């Protein structure tokens, strides 16, 4: 029960801090919207073309928006010293870090999921493909936060770790991008997408189990 209370307290604390910094919280959402809406200007407002590339546009934009918010996952806690207190807690560090990752997803990933249907309609995506898009975002965006937490933990002690973070995280994001965008594209053509959805579900389960442990070890190395 004490561990559960600590886990909930971590999530509640990070959500309160995020809502106090509303400008930072809105940055990924605004970036997501701007990137998607700029594509028709760049490639031309041709309905068939936009409809065919809509899955890739939305998923690449969501991936970049998620990366934009990663650096703040542990940065503020590292700067004010609360990260050291978290690592000294008697509770398992990996569980507490999982709470911080969930809070990060609630602030960044969940708003992207809520905004995505409007942008999909803007690009002319079919209803069947839109449903699959939401499924892939629900399964894929938590993986982005979980995997990204490992990269953030490795670079949190560096003054300018943004470039290194991108180099570490982007290759790990590629499988999620491939399977998610391919699932939406195949759904647009009326083809079955069970295999892609199951692979994304497996990625999410593996990330939930495995990611907090290396993130905890990396944080301990970065802080020490």
Q: pLDDT digit of tens for each residue in the chain (224 aa)? A: 788 888 888 889 888 888 888 777 788 899 999 988 888 887 777 778 778 888 888 999 999 888 888 877 877 777 777 777 877 778 888 888 998 899 989 998 899 999 998 988 888 888 888 899 999 999 999 999 999 888 888 888 776 666 777 788 888 899 999 999 899 888 888 888 899 999 999 999 999 988 889 888 888 887 76
Three-state SS for 46-91 is CHHHHHHHHHHHHHHHHHHHHHHHHCCCCHHHHHHCHHHHHHCCCC
Enclosing domain of residue 192: 2-223
Residue 162 has a pLDDT of 67
Residue 137 has a pLDDT of 93
Instruction: Enter the DSSP assignment of 158.
Output: S
* pTM listed for this prediction: 0.88
Residue 160 has a pLDDT of 67
Number of domains in the chain: 1
């Amino acid at each position: 029960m004490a561990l559960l209370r600590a886990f909930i307290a971590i999530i509640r604390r990070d959500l309160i801090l995020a809502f106090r910094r509303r400008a930072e919280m809105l940055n990924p959402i605004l970036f997501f919207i701007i990137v998607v809406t700029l594509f028709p200007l760049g490639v031309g407002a041709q309905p068939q073309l936009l409809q065919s590339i809509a899955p890739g546009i939305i998923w690449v934009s969501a991936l970049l928006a998620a990366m934009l918010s990663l650096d703040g996952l542990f940065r503020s806690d590292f700067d004010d010293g609360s990260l050291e207190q978290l690592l000294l807690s008697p509770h398992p560090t990996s569980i507490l870090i999982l709470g911080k990752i969930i809070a990060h997803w609630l602030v960044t990933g969940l708003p992207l999921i809520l905004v995505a249907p409007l942008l999909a309609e803007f690009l002319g995506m079919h209803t069947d493909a839109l449903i699959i898009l939401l499924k892939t975002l629900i399964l894929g965006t938590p993986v982005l936060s979980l995997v990204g937490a490992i990269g953030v933990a490795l670079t949190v002690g560096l003054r300018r770790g943004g470039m290194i973070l991108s180099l570490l995280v982007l290759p790990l994001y590629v499988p999620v991008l491939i399977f998610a965008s391919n699932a939406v594209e195949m759904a647009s053509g009326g083809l079955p997408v069970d295999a892609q959805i199951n692979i994304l579900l497996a990625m999410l389960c593996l990330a939930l189990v495995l990611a907090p442990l290396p993130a905890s070890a990396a944080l301990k190395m970065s802080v020490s």
